[in-house]
Copies of this chain bind each other. A is one copy, B any other.
Amino acid sequence: MSKRKMVRVVFEPGGTELLVPAGTLLSRAAAAAGYGIETPCGGMGICGKCKVQVNGDPSPLDSNERRLLTEQEISQGFRLACRTKVSSDITVHIPPESLSRIQKILSQGVLRLCEADSRVRKVYCELDQPTLNDERAAFERLADCLAHRQLNLRPNLNVVRTISRTLRDAGYKVTAVMYEDKLIALEPGDTTSHCYGIAYDLGSTTIVGYLLDLATGRELAVSALMNPQTVYGEDLVSRISFASTQEKGGDILRTAAVDALSRIAKALARSAGVRLENVYKATVVGNTCMTHLLLGIDVASLGQSPYVPAVCADITTSAQELDLPISPEAPVVILPNVAGFVGSDLVAVLISVEWEKDGRTRLAVDIGTNGEMALLHNGKTYVCSAAAGPAFEGAGISSGMRGSPGAIDSVVISDDVYISTIENRRPIGICGSGLVDAVAQMLDAGIIDESGRMLSPNEASSLPEAIRRRLIDGERGPEFILVEKRHSGTGKPITLTQTDIRHVQLAKGSIRAAIATLMRTAEVDDEDLSEILLAGAFGNYIRVESAIRIGLIPSVAREKVISIGNAAGTGARLALLCEQEMQTARELARKAEHLELAVSPDYQMELMDRMMFPKVRAPMH
């Protein structure tokens, strides 16, 4: 292994220094130093949100930077952190607007507020040793010390059980760990600099955990796992059925989820070099079914109409009760749900974008197997969920696949068909964002019409020759060849069938009809929307123009559509750090008006309409 040159990067504000290998991306170095930088485009160099001011000599400007930075900015040393590599020692100043929301809370002078606001607090105490003239009980001795700092302390049986021995063995120099006014741990010596928390995004497919320093808000590690419950049921309905009908089904699913959270906790601790017993708080967001299963709550009622959850209020339990391998008395906070199919993950999305910050009309859409969405208008939030089916996750499509290496993720049709794949591997299938692209391009090329009908080969005489040759008669109607056999990684051509197009129409129709129903209920027109926020992996990678072209989202100006990445995870992190954010989550969950689409005549009508593709090209940027 050749030795790589190491260079020094100093970040301002804060002055944190870091040694990194030459060639490291600035955005990665910043993350490693604990600075979260806004990268809504996922580091593709297209949103221009990650501007930083560099003093030194990094890699040359690339084409994206030339396009997104003004002459004046370039002369002042501004760069895009996601496009710039470090080649020698430099100083990087991160302007407040480029810091991520979590980081902003921390940097805008409220770091101390946040520290108090996780409600976890560590206090180092040097206590007097007991004597016959000072026989205060061990707990009261500690409580008296904290009372001098204006802190009230309540005993906790599990800690009190061993408090006398802990104090004695530590020579009466200990660190008390408090959650609110409860003593949740007691450690020998001064351990105040080790105070961590984990925010979990418990998805039905993927579980992500974030390890944060509760004192500074810095993110120390991220770790993800497939949800092992998938083994017992791919989708929610089959897991609910497993839990309700299988003997100990609920237990099996609960244990699977807990195991995954535990493995993530261990991976996070290992990766950041911290000890699990120094993790004193966790938050969890997820859809209602996922968090019910995690808590061992009976989910049978979620499996049958009217799909009523057991509880919407947030629940606080303990690591010990949940069987997580962090500090046993650590509170584990599950954020509130809104309804059976509108869970705390959507609530977390809302707090991540400061949902009610300026009262403008906003739409947030999180597309998975279920589309969950929220609309804010005139101070009121409307939410609903629509069963989109798995088409956008690549399932149910003849050549569909998840967004993994080899998946077609973008399609251009002009004189011929041009594709790109994830990691530039040989194509083996098509993922959600590729599918949306393909359908949009096929519409524009006239390969399918507004009703979704695909031309038969003999109707295609007006198309360019290369395109026409790709239209074939398949077993069940026309088929369009995206990738010919000789270019395919599977040894077979990759095609879209008429049935695939119908699946896309159903999926996008149900999402779009749900959006339309929300907007109709709130009396909102397309032009009222100040922005459309797309959450989740699909929302992150989709090409906005294509989404508008196929009519998946309302037709608004391109710049009003913002991909917000894993916003649910961001919400979980905010709730971990700030009780105020948790309070906001409670209020949003309680106030939100849930529309039940199953009984909405509007929705049924919209669904018929929105299956169609828009007639005219939507306005483009």
Tell me the A residues contacting B by CB distance below 8 Å: 130-140, 143, 154-155, 157, 160-165, 168, 295-298, 300-301, 305-313, 315, 317, 321, 337, 339-340, 594, 596, 598-599
B160 touches A311 (CB 8 A): yes
Q: List 26 A-B contacts (CB under 8 A).
A: A130-B308, A131-B306, A132-B305, A132-B306, A132-B596, A132-B599, A133-B596, A134-B306, A135-B308, A135-B340, A135-B596, A137-B310, A137-B311, A137-B337, A137-B339, A138-B301, A143-B313, A155-B311, A160-B297, A160-B311, A161-B297, A161-B310, A162-B298, A163-B310, A165-B301, A168-B301
Shortest Cβ distance from residue A389 to the other chain B in the assembled complex, whole angstroms: 21
Determine if B598 and A139 form an interchain contact, defined as CB atoms under 8 angstroms apart: no
The answer to whether B298 and A137 touch across the interface, beta carbons within 8 angstroms, is no
Q: Is B312's CB under 8 angstroms from A140's CB?
A: yes
Residue among B140, B163, B306 making CB contact with A130, cutoff 8 Å = B306
Taking each of A134, A137, A298, which has the highest tally of chain B beta carbons within 10 Å of its own beta carbon?
Answer: A137
- Inter-chain contacts of A596 with B (CB < 8 A): 132-133, 135
Query: What B residues does A164 contact at CB under 8 A?
Result: 298, 300-301, 308-310
Interface centre among A133, A168, A311 (most CB of B within 10 A): A311
Complex Cα spacing A160 to B311, Å = 7
Contact assessment for B139 and A312 in the assembled complex, using a CB-CB cutoff below 8 Å: yes
A444 → chain B closest CB, angstroms? 40
Residues in chain B near residue A295, CB distance under 8 A: 157, 160-161
A143 CB contacts on chain B under 8 angstroms? 313
Query: How many chain copies?
Result: 2
A133 touches B599 (CB 8 A): yes
Residue in B135, B155, B305 whose beta carbon sits within 8 Å of that of A307 in the complex: B135
Docked complex Cα distance between A163 and B296 (Å): 12
The answer to whether A140 and B313 touch (CB under 8 A), given A131-B306, A133-B596, is yes
CA of A310 to CA of B311 in the docked complex: distance in angstroms? 38
Q: Which residues of B contact A161 (CB under 8 A)?
A: 295-298, 310
> Taking CB as reference atom, which chain B residue is nearest A314?
B155
CB of A425 to closest CB in B, whole Å: 45
In the assembled complex, the Cα of A154 lies from the Cα of B313 at a distance in Å of 8
A249 to chain B, nearest CB (A): 14
Docked CA distance A154–B339 (Å): 18
Extra contacts, 13 of them, besides A135-B594, A154-B313, A160-B295 (Cβ < 8 A), are A132-B306, A133-B599, A135-B339, A137-B308, A137-B310, A137-B311, A138-B309, A139-B310, A140-B311, A143-B313, A162-B298, A163-B311, A164-B309
CB distance from A8 to the nearest CB of B (A): 50
Q: Are B157 and A309 in contact (CB under 8 A)?
A: no
> Across the interface, do B317 and A157 meet the contact criterion of CB distance under 8 Å?
yes
Q: Are A315 and B137 interface neighbours, CB within 8 A?
A: no
Q: In the complex, what residues of B have CB within 8 A of residue A140's CB?
A: 311-313
Decide if A165 touches B298 in the complex (CB within 8 Å).
yes
> When chains A and B are docked, how far (Å) is the Cα of A594 from the Cα of B135?
9
Q: How far is the CB of A152 from chain B (nearest CB, A)?
A: 11
In the complex, what residues of B have CB within 8 A of residue A598's CB?
Answer: 132
Residue of B nearest to A317 (CB): B157
**What's the nearest-Cβ distance from chain B to residue A146, in Å?**
13
Residues of B within 8 A of A315 (CB): 155, 157, 160
Asked if residues A311 and B135 are in contact (CB atoms below 8 Å), the reply is no
Give the Cβ gap from A251 to chain B, nearest Cβ, in Å.
11
Chain B contacts for A337, CB-based, 8 A: 137
Distance between Cα atoms of A306 and B143 in the complex (Å): 19
Docked CA distance A310–B339 (Å)? 45
Nearest-CB distance from A343 to chain B (Å)? 11
Set of chain B residues within 8 Å of A168, measured between Cβ atoms: 301
Given contacts A157-B317, A157-B321, A298-B162, contact A137 B306 (CB under 8 A): no
B160 and A308: CB pair below 8 A?
no
Q: How far, in angstroms, from A140 to B339 measured CA to CA in the complex?
A: 11
**Chain B residues closer than 8 Å to A155, beta-carbon distance:** 311, 313, 315
**CA separation between A391 and B225, bound complex, in Å?**
68
- Please give me the residue from chain B that is nearest to A308 by CB atom: B130
Min CB–CB distance A409 → chain B (angstroms):
37
Output the least CB separation between A420 and chain B (Å).
43
Q: Is the CB of B313 within 8 A of A165?
A: no
